[in-house]
Structure 1
Amino acid sequence: MSGRLARGVLAGVAGTAAMAATGRAYREIHAWRRGISPEDITEILDYDQSDHVVVAASTVLQRVTGWAPRSPEARHVLFWVVHWGYGSVVGAAHAELRHRLGGEPAAGTAFFVGCEVMALGLFPVVGGTPVPWRWGARLLTVSVVQHAVYAGTVAATDALLDRRER
């Protein structure tokens, strides 16, 4: 694995961790304001941290392999595999963009836009969500903020790892 690719994957891990942490914090604040436990929240706060991830992954798995998870346990495992696997691997795209576009802010901006476009496109196509213009202001805002956290963390981590590598 090339240094650039490895650096991008590690940056993707950091971005995924940041996105998961801010998503959890948002869920806890939302629950606290309503006086309930975070586990008692029934509405979707963020499509990236919902069952729609499993729906999308299951749709693709079913089409490609003919198999999709059925049990709650298998669906839970699939969510975490997709969340961490996809988030980590996509980070490699930033490292390549940084190389091809000559650094920041072009690479980070292109990466953020690409991530947001994928989220707005993939969830309605294979994840069973409404089209983005029907998400409402709150869900759109959360999506943009979450992907900005992810992309910003990926870009910062990639730059830090690149400096250390040199």
Structure 2
Amino acid sequence: MQDSAPAFRLILLRHARSGWALPGQRDFDRMLDETGYAEAKLIAQSAADRGIRPDLILCSTAVRCRQTAEPFRRALGEDIDIRYVDHLYAGPAAVYTDLVEAHAERASLMLIGHNPMIEDVFRRFLGEEHSALTNGYPPAGLAVIDFSTRSAAGRISAAALSAWLLPEPEEVARR
């Protein structure tokens, strides 16, 4: 983490691992699998241990995203502001960036959503060839992106990755 407070902090979280849709089940209703539940708990606790606490969490309404968000309420406190946004489920990456820009007056914002949109937003702010994503954006991957400045129009700029958290596989296996 940076020593000084950033002008704005964006936290991107891809939902944890989910099972495949069952016959007749909509993709929207897919749930976390056993590994995903463990990943969600571990990444929430890891974020809390590092003092990562967003002012607001915007989360896709898909079941697997809601299940990924819930451990943050337990780890960060019942008063954490989690809002569910339908457009984060099926909307393009532009929906994600529009939400970031709409909330850039805050100190920090977390988005919990889906790939490829989460990865697209990460790459938009940090560059196409960022080393953290050599194998794509993994389930339960949490990126903390700090912005040192904002433009007068409220658009954010000058981004740097200040933390990249992944649930440790051996910890997931123990849960």
- The TM-score with structure 1 as length reference comes to 0.28
Question: Which structure's CA Rg is the greater one?
Answer: 1
* TM-score (ref. length: structure 2): 0.27
Q: Identify which of structures 1 and 2 has the higher relative contact order when contacts are C-alpha pairs closer than 8 Å and 6+ apart.
A: 1
More helix by share: 1
